[in-house]
Structure 1
Amino acid sequence: MHTPDLSIVIPLDFHRRSWDLYRRVKRFVHMFAGQSVQLIFGCNAAPQFWVKCLQRLIAKHANMHVCLVDAEASSLSKLRNTALAAVKTQYVLFLDVDIVPDWHLVELAYQHVFAQPKQIGMFPCLYLSKAGSKLISKTSAAEFKDHYYDFRRDLILHLAFPSSIVLCDMASVREIGGFDEQFIGHGYEDFDFMLRLFHYKGLIKYSADILVDEPYLAPLMSVGLRAVLAKPFLDSLIQPVYFLHQFHKKDKDEDYYKKRAANKDLFINKYQDLKEDKLHFNKLSLLNYFFNEVIEEKNSQKYVVLWAELNGNQLRKRQSQLFKSLKGFVAQRFEM
């Protein structure tokens, strides 16, 4: 097995969720201490208290680095670019601090990309519920993947695919100029980065689909922008590498999330003159491609979860009610 020549880039801004972020950084430090990969944090220089805590935390680890920059709060593009400037390895992996660190998954992802002619991979990410996140220490990524395919929406909120978890050669990232620092706050900087990177790699075209911004209930039923980004990597869905995203609360009134609308406008303005006029994806495009080109088990029931458009919240409520009913039934049986 080839020793990974790899850096993991993680943006950090302690203006938000300070203690929570620090605890999650500690998991990364513990997981990658002494490993061959480089861990590079692009970190806002303020607030200084938490920055100093971070510096002390990694001080004895030669494969870990903090790159500081004075940035506007939540300027994730600038933080990532600051970290990218310090990358000296041939390959780079983009994660955020809410991803569950897993050396085995990183190694598998690297070996997968290393064997690809295009030298790039994008990997599925399971967003865990609050209940699911409590099981991280005793449940493997493979087990969570099985739970997803078993429709365990009490443990898993949804599958992000496309996701911003991308591993590729560093030379290509330099060629496209990294992340666009005009995007500040939540959303669209990752879409923009992936579009430019995938286009540079010859994996996609700038079609009219990229201005169709519709969320999905099932990955294989996505259209527009998300379908464009997902199609080149559909084979990742049948591979073992599924990353996990830990649950955290969201305050939609927070300034970080309020900036999403401005980022969307920036994204549209950036791409509306680059695109071709033709739409290439309809509701069934990814589903047809997946079953005709990606998998061999044409009649397999295993992949139903990838196209079954179920409302996760409703399914979680039903599962919760079912578990409560079963618990009550069992308790009654023991009392008899």
Structure 2
Amino acid sequence: MLTIITPFSCQNKNSYLYERMKKFIDTSFISEDIKRIIVDFNSNPLISKKLKDRAAISGIEYIELERYGELFSIGKCRNQGAKLAKSEYIMFQDVDLFSSVSIYESILDRLREREYFNDVELIPCLYLTKEFCQEFDEVDNSSFEAKIKKAYLENDSSIIEMYAPSSSCLLINRKFYLCSGGVSEEFIGHGYEDFDLHIRLCEQANKFYRTHDFGSDEYSYDSLEYRGYRPYLSMFGRQLMNDGIYFCHHWHPKSVGSDYQKRNKINKEIFSRRISEYKKSIFNCKPLVDLSAENSILLVDKSKDYKEISQLIPFLGNCEVQELGNFTDENDFIDYVKCKKIKTVYSYLKTSDWGAGLRTNDAIIYHIRESSLSNALVIDGDLNPHESLTFNSHEWSYEIDESKRFEIGDYIFSVLEEIKKPISIPNENNNHIYVGDINTKSLSFESILDFIEVRYPSISTVYINQAFEFDADYSFKIKTLDASDLTLMLTAEVIINNNDKENLIALMANKLVVTTEDKYYSVTGLSENLLNFINNDEYVIAGFDASVRDSLFYYLVNSVCSFYEHSIVDGDKKKILKNINIPQKINVKLSWRNKPYPVNSRYYDFFRHYFESKRAIKK
């Protein structure tokens, strides 16, 4: 369920960090639901070996990045740990932070009750004094929990040096963290990397309203004014403190003169630039990949083309993005797949180049394309759904129970209501036939009109969504349309159409459709092939069957399509996925919080006086 990630770097065995890490390893809580990863950036190899052996005894994974000669980057450590973790949730805990077992159990209880994929919590921290920590280290510290709680409530400065309502202890869904891009590696050394990450994540969490003067650095965590980014971030930890969930910070000397600390000023300048973008809701960060999964590749026309589906990346495995133009031809690409031992290829190509018909025996290939259902993607092994095993009627032509019919009925109703908003039903008699996109190579317009003349003698008008010339006279009027007309389609007595998007809408509206080619929905009760009528005068069309329709759409919605909402990010349209379906591979639902708690809720009580005074000024 939860992996706790701890960054680390130590060059000298005489450093307090070495002793602190030994104690951290020996005393850290792990269980069936809590795993730990220590990410060592560039410690002295002898130190790393001793600590790695010690961690193995305690059941803690110890990762060495071996970035020798580089300035310590806590962000790279955290990101690497997140990419390697296998759990649903992750949390960051520095080596100088500790807590009781009961608090870890409370954290697990909290995660089990989580509802939203984009939820973010920042665990509060109590910074203990040097004197108390010296006393604390000399005895059994289990007896000190009550004493620390009492000191917090009484604001006892002899024990608690500082209280931070939110800290670097981020508690988050791992995939959401990967989607966000994690800690920006633009920050090196100490300072502001946490503020940058937390603001980016908290803004996407949609949990609390932004503070006034959002980018201001002037307001502290304990400010009673709802202004600046620190009071905003404090909202993501205050409730945890109320619930008794917090960490304690063990006092240690500050290395103000180190190169690590000297980066603080530079990092602040980077942060100031970035937060000015965040005030405009610009969060343009590349997603992180999932290193715990198999190797995969996303093939795109151009790198910028995949931005709109960037949220998919962490769900596609250890996925690298490559442009089609980086390979000379199909054979060059297949050699690359073999060399990299890539197991899955995801193709998001909009061109008809060689990549569209890509085939290789060394990897499974999925094509990412827009679905015929609105606001949905299909990720499937075949570009043509009518030839795909995923869409074959054997997969969905079975009776579904009443609860599922109600569920899909709500979906169909909502789609039709949205479609009907901008259109109006004409006043004229709807005794007409609608002819949409058809394949005139297999069947001419004249053949279709002749068929209508014989089979539907009472029809008054035929609307055709294509211009064409004809010589024969018919008993009905023929009107050509410049574009598709959903009003005419939804009110037609008969629909003759090969357009999948329009046909699915028609099926939702209880309209049986007639096509001139075989479709995956060409089954009795939903769709008929016009060739069956023309080749057999005695062929009788079956009536529309709503139960078959419900089975089809339940399958498409729940097992095939990945639905999304659009969001504008840095001027680019981005798809916010509500679920991800990859047949035979992934089926996950992502519940997003999209509206903050109201200001009159108890969550904002710490700032209640500020809001009341603002309201009084307005009056």
Q: TM-score, normalised by structure 1?
A: 0.75
Give unpaired runs (5+ residues) of structure 2: 282-598, 606-619
In 2: Cα distance, 1:227 partner to 1:207 partner: 7
Over 3 Å counting, the alpha-carbon distance change for 1:262 and 1:105 in structure 2 is same
In 2: Cα distance, 1:35 partner to 1:153 partner: 34
In 2: Cα distance, 1:190 partner to 1:116 partner: 23
Match of 1:326 in 2: none
Q: Which has the higher helix share?
A: 1
Say whether the 8 Å CA contact 1:211–1:271 is kept in structure 2.
Answer: yes
Over 3 Å counting, the alpha-carbon distance change for 1:135 and 1:120 in structure 2 is farther
Q: 1:75 aligns with which of 73, 76, 84?
A: 73
- AA partner of residue 74 (structure 1): F
Say whether the 8 Å CA contact 1:12–1:43 is kept in structure 2.
Answer: yes
In 1: Cα distance, 2:12 partner to 2:216 partner: 31
Say whether the 8 Å CA contact 2:122–2:171 is kept in structure 1.
Answer: yes
Over 3 Å counting, the alpha-carbon distance change for 1:45 and 1:96 in structure 2 is same
Count of residue pairs brought into register by the alignment: 281
Q: CA deviation at 1:201?
A: 1.9
In 2: Cα distance, 1:148 partner to 1:135 partner: 17
1:21 equivalent in alignment to 2:17: yes
Say whether the 8 Å CA contact 2:221–2:234 is kept in structure 1.
Answer: no
Match of 2:51 in 1: 54
1:150 equivalent in alignment to 2:148: no
Q: CA deviation at 1:225?
A: 0.9
Query: Which of 90-99 and 51-60 deviates more?
Result: 51-60
In 2: Cα distance, 1:255 partner to 1:222 partner: 35
Match of 1:8 in 2: 4
Say whether the 8 Å CA contact 1:141–1:244 is kept in structure 2.
Answer: no
Residues 141-165 of structure 1: CA deviation (Å, up to 9, x unaligned) = 3431211221210111110122111
Q: Secondary structure at the match of 1:173?
A: helix
Match of 2:126 in 1: 126
Say whether the 8 Å CA contact 2:38–2:60 is kept in structure 1.
Answer: no
Question: RMSD of the alignment, in Å?
Answer: 2.8
Say whether the 8 Å CA contact 2:42–2:67 is kept in structure 1.
Answer: yes
- AA partner of residue 268 (structure 1): S
Q: Secondary structure at the match of 2:199?
A: helix
In 1: Cα distance, 2:198 partner to 2:99 partner: 22
Mapping of residues 46-195 of structure 1, within 5 Å: 46-70=43-67, 72-118=70-116, 119-136=119-136, 137-138=140-141, 139-195=143-199
In 2: Cα distance, 1:113 partner to 1:18 partner: 39
1:255 equivalent in alignment to 2:259: yes
- AA partner of residue 92 (structure 1): I
Say whether the 8 Å CA contact 2:187–2:267 is kept in structure 1.
Answer: yes
Query: Which of 184-193 and 230-239 deviates more?
Result: 230-239
1:35 equivalent in alignment to 2:35: no
Say whether the 8 Å CA contact 1:207–1:276 is kept in structure 2.
Answer: no
Query: Which of 184-193 and 8-17 deviates more?
Result: 8-17
Q: CA deviation at 1:204?
A: 5.0
Q: Secondary structure at the match of 2:151?
A: helix
Query: Which of 165-174 and 250-259 deviates more?
Result: 250-259
Say whether the 8 Å CA contact 1:113–1:168 is kept in structure 2.
Answer: no
Q: TM-score, normalised by structure 2?
A: 0.42
- AA partner of residue 53 (structure 2): R
Give unpaired runs (5+ residues) of structure 1: 278-288, 297-336
Match of 1:310 in 2: none
Over 3 Å counting, the alpha-carbon distance change for 1:142 and 1:241 in structure 2 is farther
Say whether the 8 Å CA contact 2:235–2:603 is kept in structure 1.
Answer: no
In 2: Cα distance, 1:274 partner to 1:76 partner: 22
Residues 246-277 of structure 1: CA deviation (Å, up to 9, x unaligned) = 00111322222221111110011112133159
Q: 1:293 aligns with which of 578, 588, 602?
A: 602
Residues 86-107 of structure 1: CA deviation (Å, up to 9, x unaligned) = 1001111111000025332222
Q: CA deviation at 1:232?
A: 4.0
Tell me: higher relative CO, structure 1 or 2? Use CA pairs within 8 A at least 6 residues apart: 1
Q: Secondary structure at the match of 1:230?
A: helix
The percent of aligned pairs where both chains have the same amino acid is 26
Q: Which has the higher strand share?
A: 2
Q: CA deviation at 1:185?
A: 1.3
Match of 2:203 in 1: 199
Residues 160-208 of structure 1: CA deviation (Å, up to 9, x unaligned) = 1221112121111111011111111111111111112112222356777
Residues 50-72 of structure 1: CA deviation (Å, up to 9, x unaligned) = 11121121133444332424162
- AA partner of residue 255 (structure 2): D
Say whether the 8 Å CA contact 1:126–1:156 is kept in structure 2.
Answer: yes
Over 3 Å counting, the alpha-carbon distance change for 1:80 and 1:149 in structure 2 is same
- AA partner of residue 29 (structure 1): I
- AA partner of residue 81 (structure 2): A
Say whether the 8 Å CA contact 1:77–1:179 is kept in structure 2.
Answer: yes
Say whether the 8 Å CA contact 1:216–1:222 is kept in structure 2.
Answer: no
Q: CA deviation at 1:16?
A: 7.3
Q: Secondary structure at the match of 1:14?
A: coil
Q: Secondary structure at the match of 1:180?
A: coil
Say whether the 8 Å CA contact 1:24–1:98 is kept in structure 2.
Answer: yes
Residues 13-32 of structure 1: CA deviation (Å, up to 9, x unaligned) = 11478632222222332223
Q: CA deviation at 1:125?
A: 0.4
